[in-house]
Amino acid sequence: MTIEELEKAVREYNTAADIDLIRLAYDFAENAHRGQIRKTGEEYIKHPLRTAHYLANLKADQETIVASLLHEVPDMTDVSFEEIRKNFGEEVGTLVEGVSKLGNVKYRGVERYIENLRKMFVSIAQDVRIVLIKFAGRIHNLETLHVLPPDKQQRIAREVLEIYAPIADRLGIAYLRGELEDRAFPYIYPEEYKKLRAEIDPYLEQKEQYLATVASRLAAQLKEAHIPVQSISSRVKRLYSTYQKMIAHGLESIDGIYDIVAMRVIVSNIADCYAALGVIHHHWRPLPGRIKDYIAQPKLNHYRSLHTTVFCIDGHIVEFQIRTPEMQYEAEAGIAAHWHYTEAGKQSRRTAVKDLDWVQEILKLQGGGDGTDSDEEYLSALRLDIFRNRIFVFTPKGDVINLPEGATPVDFAYQIHSDVGKKCSGVKINDVMVPLDSSLKSGDVVEILIEKNRKRPSADWLKFVKTHLAKSHIKQQLRQE
């Protein structure tokens, strides 16, 4: 990608962008990096330029684009952060310095990566754009990973799969997560990658004409129902995501995975999303248990969409995803969408990170005074809150509580309030009495029974609770008693 192509891409989504400033940043970085060559043999400026290209795909704001072009200048040259601030402003200077502070710690497993993780979450709270630049730069590093020795390939790819991709997922940035995972996949699991690639490529060729027919048929049906449609297209599931699903379901092949290719239907508003779902179900029979309403109940990373899987033309199983243009952009860009909306005057970027409760919980772990006294406990909490799937359960009043997989009723009780947790004496799940150490599942309705005079929690609960929140409250309440 050239600087001219970057300028054109930014201008398409941000007509108010200062293109001259972006060109100035490029010229400044090119001059600073002149003579520096990457191991691929390319001029070093290609790296920040490619980083900026990935961020432009997310419709990143002007300051992020400028900072991405400059993000390695202070570390790789004699140019200081003060010079960056003097030439490009305080905001850009803070972003560039933030990326530098994240550093390049050699990855030796999550356990030895604690300090860099702490820095990363502080950066997310300070300004999530710092982490976006870091992630986009890492994608370009993966593009050129083939020039490195095998041991470095393995280290960098594993760092991406274990650290960067899960955090990108929790930030809701499907585009960055998918790019990171699919580029790291062949280095960590080369044989599995080749096998899956060989299976999926002919499958996609076979499906191409069929899906075009489905799109044409659905367009006619929605037109007949007077539902305006912006687009109907097919999307291919990411390779690594497909591989993970095969592992989770114990599958040897892609047979039994129904969303390798899904039809994506984009309509104008939420009412039309539900109307389109009705049309699809009117013409094709849905599979039981495969209807998911992420509009009424968004995922933890704020992903919204309607999903349904149906017996479609000729009885073939097809998944449909129905959403608005705003939902589509948010699904790809996640929290990065907040900055794009700010430019359009739609919402305040200050609320962006505050909306992510899990970030606030992680920061509490770093603040001390909550029972987390060791790296081991901190890492354990991170694995629950960041690197683990989530479930959604309900209170009897219909409020949604999100918890990590394997969470228990006691975890649920403490998520509601510390006093509810402490006084918990029993639980009903879906109107059935069960033990307090039972594992909850998505969709469960959980009713906590309270013993009003109870003064302290049971120390035995520490043996089975899963969340850091529950553990820290139980320890604190036991100490107080």
The CATH 3.10.20.30 portion of the chain extends over 389-480
Pick the residue with more confidence: 472 or 224?
A: 224
Average pLDDT, the chain: 86
Question: Considering the domain 389-480 in this protein, what is its CATH number?
Answer: 3.10.20.30
- The residue type found at 346 is K
Give me the pLDDT at residue 369, please: 42
pLDDT at 74 over 80: yes
Give me the pLDDT at residue 349, please: 46
Per residue, the 3-state secondary structure of 274-325, as one string, reads HHHHHHHHHHCEECCCCCEECCCCCCCCCCCCEEEEEECHHHCEEEEEEECH
C-alpha torsion sign, points 401, 405, 409, 411: negative
The CATH 1.10.3210.10 portion of the chain extends over 3-184
Percent of the chain's residues with pLDDT above 70: 85
CA neighbor of 409 nearest in space, from 360, 449, 380: 449
The CATH 3.30.460.10 portion of the chain extends over 190-323
What is the model's pTM? 0.73
Per DSSP (E only), the strands in 105-255 are: 229-236
Unique residue bearing structure tokens 């599958």: 251
The upper half-sphere exposure of residue 147, i.e. CA atoms within 13 Å in the direction of its Cβ, equals 10
Give me the pLDDT at residue 68, please: 97
Q: Does domain 190-323 have CATH number 3.30.60.50?
A: no
Q: Nearest-5° angle of CA 280, CA 283, CA 289? A: 60
- Listing DSSP states for 34-77 in one string gives TT-B-TTSSBTTHHHHHHHHHHHHTT--HHHHHHHHHTTHHHHS
- C-alpha 354/C-alpha 359 separation (Å) is 8
- C-alpha 273/C-alpha 431 separation (Å) is 33
Dump pLDDT digits (tens) for 393-407: 888 887 778 788 889
CATH top class, domain 3-184: mainly alpha
pLDDT at 408 over 80: yes
Model confidence at 96, pLDDT cuts 50, 70, 90, reads: very high
Tell me if 408 sits within 8 A of 438, measured CB to CB. Answer: yes
Give me the pLDDT at residue 366, please: 57
